[in-house]
A and B are shown apart, each in its own frame.
Chain A
């Protein structure tokens, strides 16, 4: 169990950290508690990471205050040891809604196409497209100003 936790924690941490920001630790913990409680119900071990990813995204969006929740910029504390650029990314991400961060994580961090992202998020392909468009527009604007 401890080894499985060692393997899953960084994966979950990357999803929850990027979507839930300063609530990322809470989201990671809740994700992995849900995973470990229901581990025996997983029929196909090959589906483990997909299953974990779906739970992590749900928990991260919830921990960040729901789909449209926003994080006050002043509350975003830089992580110890992070580079200046990582802090900048964090600050820009804080200007997006959790739903927008979730779509960016799936498309730009995990390389999902629109169809796969729509399936994981449980929304229509068109919704993914429009959220991604808005998220990237906000990201680009904040990043370059």
Chain B
């Protein structure tokens, strides 16, 4: 029996499952996931390219700049269309990105689902009453997913 130690089956979590778990700890977060009808590597080429990709599909982001990079840990500055600038600590790896700051946390995850992609996204404003914004943010995500899918398909 002991000879089998280290041979036991072990379950791994893919990035979308990880995101569902993280969101469970943030009751005020808006979260949405959807299967996009485009391949995962093409989705991540755009979504994982934070500086060039994010402003194209995230409705409220005017610009995103990477200020520092240490392997998968980044510091980024995000500028909204209203001119608000936020510095966020980011963790970026294939299929996974979470950016967090004092006022905002945002994340995205992608895994292949056959030839398609399961894409998950959350956003949370760390302000009192931000839970009320959830329906609005989820509605916005619906449109952002459509934009992302359209942009990826155009680039294929």
Contacts and interface: CB of A to CB of B under 8 A. Distances in A.
A79 B10 CA distance: 9
Interface stretch (B1-9, B56-64, B80-88, B143-151): B1-9
B9 A25 contact: no
Interface residues of A, number: 37
Contact of A37 (B4, B10, B24): B24
A24 B14 CA distance: 12
Contact of B21 (A29, A85, A109): A29
Given A89-B4, A108-B5, A136-B1, A5 B22 contact: yes
Contact of A5 (B8, B12, B14, B21): B21
A86 B7 contact: yes
B5 A109 contact: yes
Given A1-B25, A36-B25, A13 B13 contact: yes
A13 B7 contact: no
A32 B9 contact: no
A17 interface: yes
A100 interface: no
Interface in B11-46: 11-14, 17-18, 20-22, 24-25
Given A1-B22, A5-B22, A13-B12, A83 B1 contact: no
Contacts of B22: 1-2, 5, 36
B21 A21 contact: no
Contact of A20 (B4, B11, B13): B11
B98 interface: yes
A90 to B, nearest CB: 5
Contacts of B8: 14, 17-18, 86, 89, 93, 105, 109
A36 B24 CA distance: 6
B153 to A, nearest CB: 29
A81 to B, nearest CB: 10
Contacts of A32: 13, 21, 24
Contacts of A85: 4, 7
Interface of B: 1-2, 4-5, 7-14, 17-18, 20-22, 24-25, 91, 98
Interface of A: 1-2, 5, 9-10, 12-14, 16-18, 20-21, 24-25, 27-29, 32-34, 36-37, 39, 79, 82-83, 85-86, 89-90, 93, 105, 108-109, 136, 139
15 contacts: A2-B22, A5-B18, A9-B18, A13-B10, A24-B9, A25-B13, A25-B14, A27-B11, A36-B24, A36-B25, A37-B25, A93-B8, A108-B1, A108-B2, A109-B5
